[in-house]
Chain A
Amino acid sequence: MLERLARWLKLERNETRRALVLGVILGAITGSYTLAKTVRDAFFLTRLSVTVLPYLYVGIGALAALAATGFARVTRHRPLWESLATATLGAAISLAVSAQLLRIHAAWVPIAFYLWVNVYGLILISQFWLFANDLSHAHEAKRIFGVVGVGAILGGLVGGLIAAPLARLWSLPTLLSVAALLQASVMPLVCLRSHRSAADPEPPPSVATGASPLSHSYVRWLALATLCSVMVAAVLDYQLKAQVQARYATAGQVASFFGFFYTLTNLAALMLQLFATRWLVQRVGASWSASLAPAGLAVTAALTIAAPGLGPVTAGRVWDQVTRFSIGKAAGELFYFPLEPGLRRRTKAMIQAGLERVGDGFAGLVILGVGATMGAGTRELGIVVAVLVALWALAWLGVRRGYVLELGHNLRRLHLDHGQMRISLREARVLEELIRLLASPYERVVLHGIEMLAEIAPEEFEDRFDDLLQHRSPRARARALEIGRLRQTRVADERLAALMRDDDPEVRVQALSVWCSRSGEDLITPLHEFLRGGDERLRVAAILCLAEQAPARQEDRVRVVLEEWLEKGGTAERVAVAEGLGRRAAPSELHDLLAPLLRDRNLPVRRAALRSAGVAERRTHVPVLIEALGAAETEEPARSALARLADRVVGTLGDYLADSSVAAPIRHALPRVLGDIHSQESVNALFRCRERGDVRLAYRILKAANRLRVSGARLEFPRRRITEEIEYDVRGFLFALVHYRACPIGRGRSAERLLCMALNERMEQALNRVFRRLGLLYPPEELLAAYRGVVSDHPRLRGNALEYLENALTLEHRALVMPLVDDSGDEGRLRVAEIRYGMRFASFESTLEAILGQEDPWLRACALYVVGARKERSLLPFVESSLSTVNPLVRETASWARLALATG
């Protein structure tokens, strides 16, 4: 039974169970509440004038805010199910007591009863939705809240149906007793549902739980939209009741009208809920669905202004009630999901338990104000409704914008926000914090502290200079020396002598620089003793120091010295010359020495020269640098040198990348270089290459584009091209899926198993690429979180990721990507593959044929291996055609397969 229902509702089994229980609970609450409302309206309108209502609205606003705050305070440390159970019990008892009070003929009774019904109703329904939100996540909510909403409408419908005939047969207190019984029946269900699985707990609230929810702009828009909606409902309610009181005289007639009214509205809501809500929410999203209510009310407000009367007023009220209980409720609840749990709970409490009733109060004040100035006629109030609807539409636009942003933030929060762990120096007491940084065990922190201290508090830096020169981190010692030299801070002779013999080469260079700075502008003379001395480490430091700091007018003399070391020096000295040239700022004639060193036989010398070529910034070095990218041992220095040349070399790199005749290792290294150059030209160069056959190269290009995307530079990525690539990857994913499903699993080391695994990996890789590409067009951090969510086993993460994608992606991208990740399962995806691309499984042989006919070399090699292992002779033509392919792996496997077929 449950299985059949789950299939019909297109839900999971456990989701169906959850939806049914929640639907029954809400149905009972709403049924009871509808009965209570019918009694309330009939009792009030037959005892008092409708003109009292605006005052009651104000009273409801004040009382509800107090009651909601009090209730929240009392139940804040209790589980949500317990709060709901308490509210239910309280409501049932209060209804039973009220049934007795209605027999008293006093003026205060209808007023007190009217106030109380509104207050308890609001607390109860708000508690129910908090409870329901806690049991699900955004994506599941989208599917099950429709069913839960049906429960509410059915409850309202039953309540209305009972109320209309029974109001004529029974007295109002009896009707209220029925409501109390119905209310009491909810409690056991709530307690039963509370024993849910703890496997998917809601993440804990953030630390900043004390901040007002209104400090978030999204919450402000949400609050404004809710306030407008509530005020519109209250004004419409007043208009309707005024019209009803004018037309009907007895309690039975009024109760009958409202019974009929609630039946009609609930029936209409049920139709909408059953046939439109879920479709609307899933197709157009929560925000567009929520826009239906104000749109319809704008029309009825216009009708009311044009022709005031019971007809347009009832139409407006019916539309308000119908959309509120169906689309409005299902979509409105989704708006709370992006908020983190603590904030969500406080926002819901504030909006549903506070603002919704305060809204009634505001509406009462507006009605009184309008009545005092213009007269509270139907037309005048129609104008008020029109103004409020306009404000509501404005707030809706703000909510719509904020919804996608908040969904993205929520996703990242769920994937642990390490950002919260960072220390903000600006917020701390700067100086103390900086000094504290110097004692950090982390070198980077110490270096950061040195930089900041030298900049912000130089006197503090000088006070700690000697300590820094003895710091355990060599980089800290070197940097302190460098800053000290520039600031001409005094270093004791003994300390400097010790630092010149430091184990770290950079410290030695900086110490020598300080030594030389004491001797005026001539650098060669003071360094002479070290250059000619017997200590190789000091000699190397002296060469580096000389190359870096010699004044331009001494370049000829320095060149002679360096050439001499290049000619007669050992590896250490020659490397020092090559490295030293990289420390000298361009332009410099000394950089002429680099050209021969870029092709030096000695690898360390060559590597140092390649790295230095980046500083020299000469285009003549570019061909050698690109060539060096092709060898593993020189790739890294060549890459860093090319990246330093930046825009001057991007065009050339793009040409090499797009040229398929360039050696594969060079092409494979180029995307990373381009990824280090944060410019639009780099993006253009990467997208100029349309490589698909070389999977590794295509992936590296994509990764480089991702790096550019997160670099912070303002870059434009080609939308059309990326969408084409996404479609290509979607197709690749579905191709791999169709044939993966067709592939026999195989055992151990079997060829079939290898092919299966390769297809499975290709699916994972294609999905990864799809999200990487989306990250070029949408916020990359959110897309990364969404990717991690959709591949996660965690239902809440997955659900939130799907909800984010459905709202953040454009229609075109949603149509492409969602079938790959949604809950339709592999069967659904196979249907998409067949409908969209005509891919379907026929036989394993046809699968092998399809794989051998596509361009992915690794999958082809795996398929050839299977052909050989299974002796599939019918595929011999494919094997033979693969013998002449460019890819060596495919060629080698094809020749192995042919041999296997021949000998089998």
Chain B
Amino acid sequence: MDETLSLMEKTAFLKGVEMLSSIPTEALAQLAARGKELHFEAGQVIFREGDTNRGAFLVVDGLVEIRKGRALDTVRGAGLGFGELALGEGEPHTTTAVATQHTHVLNVTNEEFFETMLDYPEVGLAMVRSLAKRLTELGARVHDLEGQVAHLNATLKRSGVEIPQYQSGTYVRPEGLS
């Protein structure tokens, strides 16, 4: 697929991606130089769950659905990223990504990302900060959800409803229930 963005345009785009926004622009230019532009038509699968990991994808333009099994996990639009950048070598994608309209993405593989990180340690530093922030946010969200679940469980229990147990992605129904 043709490259339609100049290196500086790619850099300006990457600077606008939240996850990468704290990386210095000069280091982002190196990452931009290593990234590849890809175009997908509506309905085209970008990667499937179980496919070999191809790193991170950043939506320049368009819309992408992220599916986990048959369930819709999330939708990613312009300026947002998807894919598994942080996974180790050889680990497959854990979701399926499908373009819902003509979509233009920038793809950075793990190797390219780590090479940039070695050249510019500030990239790694910025990523650690970004991930730490994200982790804190997720931790707070989990905490809130746990509180809500506990509250719901207590309400159900008070109403005499037996609560199904959630184990590794499935609900285990209490005995006697069909």
Contacts and interface: CB of A to CB of B under 8 A. Distances in A.
Given A761-B24, A858-B25, A858-B29, A754 B11 contact: yes
A188 to B, nearest CB: 45
Nearest to B33: A889
Contacts of A861: 8, 29
Given A632-B115, A889-B7, A893-B7, A761 B12 contact: no
B26 to A, nearest CB: 5
A218 to B, nearest CB: 37
Contacts of A748: 16
A462 interface: no
Interface in B15-37: 15-16, 24-26, 29
A893 B12 contact: no
A230 interface: no
Interface in A36-62: none
A129 B12 CA distance: 54
Interface in A730-784: 748-751, 753-754, 757-758, 761
A366 B94 CA distance: 88
A769 to B, nearest CB: 14
B173 to A, nearest CB: 42
B15 A754 contact: yes
A823 interface: no
Contact of A757 (B6, B7, B9, B25): B25
B12 A751 contact: yes
B13 interface: yes
B132 interface: no
A757 B115 CA distance: 24
Binding site secondary structure of chain B: helix
A758 B7 contact: no
B131 interface: no
Interface in B98-146: 115, 118
A761 B8 contact: no
A892 B25 contact: no
Nearest to B115: A632
Interface in A833-869: 858, 861-862, 864-865
Contacts of A750: 12
B8 A751 contact: yes
Given A632-B115, A748-B16, A749-B13, A754 B26 contact: no
Contacts of A758: 25-26
Contacts of B25: 754, 757-758, 761, 858, 862
Contact of B7 (A632, A749, A761, A892): A892
A749 B79 CA distance: 10
A750 B9 CA distance: 8
A751 B25 CA distance: 12
Nearest to A665: B119
Given A748-B16, A749-B13, A865 B8 contact: yes
A584 to B, nearest CB: 31
Contacts of B7: 889, 892-893, 896
B8 A893 contact: yes
Nearest to B25: A758
Contacts of B11: 754
Nearest to B26: A858
Contacts of A757: 15, 25
A758 B7 CA distance: 15
Interface string A87-118: 00000000000000000000000000000000
A288 to B, nearest CB: 41
Contacts of B24: 761
Contacts of A889: 7, 29
Interface size class, chain A: 20 to 34
Contacts of B118: 632
Interface string A861-904: 11011000000000000000000000001001100100000000
B114 to A, nearest CB: 10
Given A757-B25, A758-B25, A761-B24, A896 B15 contact: no
A896 B6 contact: yes
A865 to B, nearest CB: 4
Contacts of A862: 8, 25
Contacts of B29: 858, 861, 889
A199 B67 CA distance: 47
Most A-side CB within 10 Å, residue of B7, B9, B11, B115: B11
A893 B6 contact: yes
A548 B26 CA distance: 46
Nearest to A892: B7
Contacts of A896: 6-8
Given A893-B7, A896-B6, A753 B12 contact: yes
A889 B27 CA distance: 13
Contacts of A753: 12, 15
Nearest to B29: A889
Interface string B25-57: 110010000000000000000000000000000
Contacts of A892: 6-7
A279 to B, nearest CB: 41
Most A-side CB within 10 Å, residue of B8, B16, B115: B8
Given A632-B115, A632-B118, A893-B6, A749 B12 contact: yes
B116 to A, nearest CB: 11
A376 to B, nearest CB: 71
A862 B13 CA distance: 13
Contacts of B15: 749, 753-754, 757
Nearest to B118: A632
A777 to B, nearest CB: 25
A889 B115 CA distance: 18
A870 to B, nearest CB: 13
Contacts of A761: 24-26
Nearest to B114: A632
B9 A749 contact: yes
B89 to A, nearest CB: 15
A741 B11 CA distance: 22
A349 B24 CA distance: 50
Contacts of B13: 749
A772 to B, nearest CB: 15
Contact of B16 (A749, A751, A858): A749
A641 B7 CA distance: 37
Contacts of B16: 748-749
A862 B9 CA distance: 10
Nearest to A895: B6
A622 B26 CA distance: 33
Nearest to A856: B26
B104 to A, nearest CB: 13
A603 B97 CA distance: 36
A574 to B, nearest CB: 24
Contacts of B9: 749, 865
A350 B115 CA distance: 60
Contacts of B12: 749-751, 753-754, 865
A754 B115 contact: no
Nearest to A754: B12
Contacts of B115: 632
A863 to B, nearest CB: 10
Nearest to A758: B25
A754 B11 CA distance: 8
Nearest to B10: A749
Nearest to A760: B25
14 contacts: A632-B118, A695-B26, A749-B12, A749-B13, A753-B12, A757-B25, A761-B25, A761-B26, A858-B26, A864-B8, A865-B8, A892-B6, A893-B8, A896-B8
Interface of A: 632, 695, 748-751, 753-754, 757-758, 761, 858, 861-862, 864-865, 889, 892-893, 896
Given A632-B118, A862-B8, 19 more contacts: A632-B115, A748-B16, A749-B9, A749-B12, A753-B12, A754-B11, A754-B15, A757-B15, A761-B26, A862-B25, A864-B8, A865-B6, A865-B8, A865-B12, A889-B7, A889-B29, A893-B6, A893-B7, A896-B7
Ranked nearest first, the 5 interchain pairs of A and B with the lowest CB-CB distance are A865-B8, A749-B12, A896-B6, A754-B12, A858-B26
